[in-house]
Amino acid sequence: MVSSVMTQVGNSNSKSKRKSTNYSTLSNDSNEEAVLEGFINLLADLNIITSPETGTLNHEEITTIEYEEISHQTIKADSKQSNFIELTESLTESSSDAKIFTDVEYAVIDFQPETVGSSSNFAAFEQLQSILVGPELTDLQLITDKINDSLSKLEHQIYDSNALVELLVPCIHEILRVKIGESKEDIVKVITPIIDEVIQNRTQQSKISMGVAFAPIIPEAISQQINNAPDEMTEALAPTMGRAIKKQIEIEQDSVVDALYPIIGSTISKYMAETIRAINQQIEDSLSVKGIERKIRAKLQGISEAELIFREAIHFTVQAIFLIHKTSGLVISDIQRLDAQQLESEMVAGMLTAIRSFANDCIIQSGAYNELDAIEYGTSKIILEVAGYCYLAIVVKGEPPKQFISKMRQMLINIVREHGTIIENFDGDPGTIPNEINVNLENLRDYDLELDVNHKNKPSPLILLILGILGAIFIPLGIWKYHIGVIDAVEEKTALSLASAPELAVYRLNVEEHHGKLKLTGRVPNQFLSEKAAKIASDAAPKWSIDNHILAVEVPADPVTAAAEVKRVTEVFNQIKGTAISTQYTDGRVLIQGSVRNSLDVTMITNAFEKIPGVKLVSSAIEVPPAKIGIRFYFNINSEALMTADFNSKIEQVKSFLNQYPIKRLKITGYSYSHKGNSEYQKLGLKRAQTVKKVLINQGIDGARLEIAGKTSLPPGVNINQPEWQRRSVVLEPD
């Protein structure tokens, strides 16, 4: 709309221009000539130009001159007109502002030629104005009105949000497209900080629509992430895998079973096949004589009957073990016997892998999930056991025992569990494989050797049976014999002890074990001897309880025997040094006379005679002589220094005396003779006694048993006529 208005204005202006600049184009049009003529006349009337001379100039010249004159005489008007044209043109180009048009209008209205001063002139001016710009002014007014309307609408659209949105919506897409094309990074920077909030808000508004939006990309996104960061995906998904599987089982159990069947089904079918085969074999042979015989032997050896058959036929040996990467066929671990021909492990592994693939893809029918588990050739076999990203190929000779198969599977499971990631990523470099795998497989290789050693070390069951029977017989017998031997020894020892006691030796006493106790039987004349026998038995067998059944029988004593016994005991006591006794036995009474060394001996002798059978009373007339010690120490004149003659001998006698009489004390009396009883002499005597006491104490004698005194008299047994040196002595006497 606006552009069409501008076009019209442009046309009008161009028309004006043509009028102003090239009037010669009108010369061929009579109407226009007439108008032109009228126009010239009008200009002449206005004294703007002078009336031209007709025929003096050609038409072109006239037009040119007229134009020049118009130009000179209406400079001001022309300048205004020029302004108008410029404004109109500028409006045409930009249509920038309605005010411009108002200014133009004013410019035209204000047009007042200086040469016109009267009203007639004004009318002529208006007429001229009408002729010159009348239609344009009208158009201009219309344009102005339209522009005002447009501006109002535009203002409304800007300030009214709804209208503004309607206005901008068609442009936004284009703006964004252009902006993204120019600078994608800027758009990213602007959107990035809020994109998470946008997604969250939209998700809160409608989870379904967001789910629909994201659904197509999620599988691809997960695939990409698994490729880019498998560990992160594993860590993210692992914690919920268990729950997800449980939930899926709840939702659709059959599909889970179908999905897991390739893994579990093949394993179960393999075990079932082995089990059924074993059962069949057992059933086939179970009723034959040979089968029964084999059963017995198998039982004796502790193995199955089928295993016994194979073992007897072929000796089982492991020749080589290969742990092979399942897809590439590269050898992860190569364990072979050193004493056998070395196989080309890589070639064997490659071919086994190819054969496995071929069998799995081409032979095993669609829908069945099985693994090639063995390749047999002659008496040898390659056992194949698959787990994870690897499989074990074990070249064996003979039938592998069940324990071996079990051990192999357990080992493979452990290897896969502990080193599964390393195996999965194995890329042909054996340095990446832990040595633990090789060690484990070497153990598996040496299984047959281990088996042999075990068999060699394992004793025959028959021998074990015989040994068991013999053991059952002889071990209790041995224990019993040992027990009897112990009892016999105790009994013998106890009997000997009883026989060794003089007072019991003459009596027949029996010792025997009875219910864990030593039972003493027999007879003795009195209770004392019975108790004596029990005590001796207890000392001889301290770990045993004594059950004393010895009877004390008061047998009338034989006077002759009693007299003989008294006589015998008397002689025994007289053998003791210092003891000299005699006895008289009359009617059960014993009279003892004589002397002994001390009172203790008196008691002992009396008791001994009282215990003699037939002795009812013992009368003792035994004397105990007073203790004497005839030792004297001598001193020089007026001296307290001891003379050392026979010193050691004297000391020994003192010690012997004190030992013999442990309760005796010694009185040490120092003598220094003075017939006047001078105190100085008495002191000297005392000092001499002190000297001896000190010497005895130094020799280990208890000082508490020593008592000292000083005297001026003559020592006992010494008179005035005897040599003087005997007066200067110390005398020791029992106190």
Residues at the contact surface with other proteins, assessed by CB under 8 A: 325, 327-331, 346-347, 350-351, 354-355, 357-358, 360-362, 427-431
Q: What string of DSSP letters covers 349-411?
A: HHHHHHHHHHIIIIISPTT------EEEETTEEEEEEEETTEEEEEEEESPPPHHHHHHHHHH
Nearer to other proteins, 322 or 447 (CB): 322
Q: Which sign does the torsion angle of CA 486, 488, 489, 494 carry?
A: positive
CA 32/CA 39 separation, integer angstroms: 10
Shortest distance, position 344 Cβ to other proteins, whole Å: 8
Minimum distance from residue 329 beta carbon to other proteins (Å) = 6
Residue with tokens 């006077």: 559
| Minimum distance from residue 347 beta carbon to other proteins (Å) | 6
- Quote the CA–CA distance of 309 and 314 in Å, as a whole number: 9
Least distance from C-beta 360 to other proteins, angstroms? 8
Query: Shortest approach of other proteins to residue 350 CB, angstroms?
Result: 4
Q: What is the nearest approach in angstroms of other proteins to the Cβ of residue 348?
A: 10
Residues 6+ apart with CB under 8 A from 681: 672, 673, 674, 712
Structure tokens at 375: 């390749």
The CB density around residue 92, as the number of other CB atoms within 10 Å, is 19
- What is the nearest approach in angstroms of other proteins to the Cβ of residue 328? 2
The CB-of-419 to other proteins minimum distance in angstroms stands at 18
Question: Closer CB to other proteins, residue 343 or residue 701?
Answer: 343
Q: Based on CB atoms, which residue is closest to other proteins, 322 or 681?
A: 322
Nearer to other proteins, 358 or 480 (CB): 358
Nearest distance from C-beta of residue 395 to other proteins, angstroms: 17
The sign one gets for the Cα dihedral 213, 218, 224, 225 is positive
Q: Would you say 223 or 574 has its CB closer to other proteins?
A: 223
Minimum CB separation of residue 435 from other proteins in Å reads 14
Cβ-based nearer residue to other proteins, 150 or 328: 328
Q: Kindly state the smallest distance separating residue 330's Cβ from other proteins, in Å.
A: 5
Looking at the Cβ atoms of 227 and 659, the one nearer to other proteins is: 227
DSSP 47: T
With tokens 């039938």, the residue in question is 399
Give the number of other Cβ atoms within 10 Å of residue 326's Cβ: 19
Question: Looking at beta carbons only, is 196 or 376 nearer to other proteins?
Answer: 376
Residue placing its CB nearer to other proteins in the complex, 169 or 362: 362
Sequence-ordered alpha helix ranges (H) in 286-364 = 289-301, 305-313, 345-358
Instruction: Please identify, using beta-carbon distances, which residue of 214 and 358 lies nearer to other proteins.
Output: 358
Q: What are phi and psi of 584, to 5 degrees?
A: -135, 125
Question: 105 or 424: whose CB is closer to other proteins?
Answer: 424
CB contact at 8 A, 339 and 320: no
Question: Which C-beta is closer to other proteins: that of 346 or that of 503?
Answer: 346
Cite the beta strand spans of 187-252 per DSSP E.
none
Q: For the residues of 570-636, what is the DSSP string, one character each?
A: HHHHHTSTT-EEEEEEETTEEEEEEE-SSHHHHHHHHHHHHTSTT--EEEEEEE-PPP----EEEB-
CB of 430 to other proteins, least distance (A): 6
Element (H, E) at 678: none
Q: What is the rounded distance in angstroms from the CA atom of residue 355 to the CA atom of residue 343?
A: 17
- Cβ-contact 658, 704 below 8 angstroms: no
Q: Which of 728, 629, 732 is nearest to 688 (CA)?
A: 728
Q: Give the whole-angstrom CA distance, residue 607 versus residue 588.
A: 15
